[in-house]
Amino acid sequence: MRKIMGFISKLEEYVAGVLMVAIVVVIFAQVVYRYVLSSPLSWSEELGRYLFVWISFLGASIAFKKGAHLGIDVFTSKLSEKYQNYLAVIVNVLGIIFLAMIVKESAGLLERVVKQVSPAMRISMKWPYLALPVCTSLMLLHLLENTVERVKKIFSSQGKQDRMIGGKGELPK
């Protein structure tokens, strides 16, 4: 599972990088066409907007994987590692439920917009809207991976405690 998740993480970062290059090229071309050639491109702003949506959601998934989203840990930092893991598993399960609901609802939304076309590029609106279920599913995978790791830590620390019964040492912190 670790190899698959590693591949997915690398793929996410690669795609986000490619999309960043694409958005820079598209917006730069728009500036050149508008101000240098006095002939603005009709599709570039729309494409830039859709690329930005994909980059934002992919970035959110990458930040989710790396634990880079904002969090308040004033209370949890005062807990022992054991209880931090318990609390993390509870929070992760709630997050899994929430993300699963978003994936389900965004899939329904995708069905409603599949026949709509964008104004300038005339592409199906499923492509910009696809960012939500795809990237939320990636977040869900990262959260599942994190939950499995936390559960392993909980059980490995319980095993250490079982071996230490009788006061023959201290648990590492």
In our burial notation (b when 16+ CB lie closer than 10 A, e otherwise), range 11-29 reads: ebeeebeebeeebeebbee
pLDDT for the residue numbered 49: 95
Per-residue pLDDT of the chain (173 residues; tens, 9 = 90+): 789 989 999 999 999 999 999 999 999 999 999 999 999 999 999 999 999 999 999 999 999 898 888 777 788 888 888 888 899 999 999 999 999 999 999 999 999 998 999 999 999 999 999 999 999 999 999 999 999 999 998 888 665 654 445 444 444 44
CA distance 94 to 97: 5
| Rounded distance between C-alpha atoms, residue 70 and residue 19, angstroms | 24
Q: What is the total residue count of the chain?
A: 173
Half-sphere exposure of 90 (CA within 13 A, CB side): 7
Q: What Rg value do the Cα atoms of the chain yield, rounded?
A: 22
Residue 159 has what pLDDT? 56
pTM, full prediction: 0.83
Burial of 108 (0-12, 13-18, 19+ CB in 10 A): exposed
Which pLDDT does position 160 carry in this prediction? 61
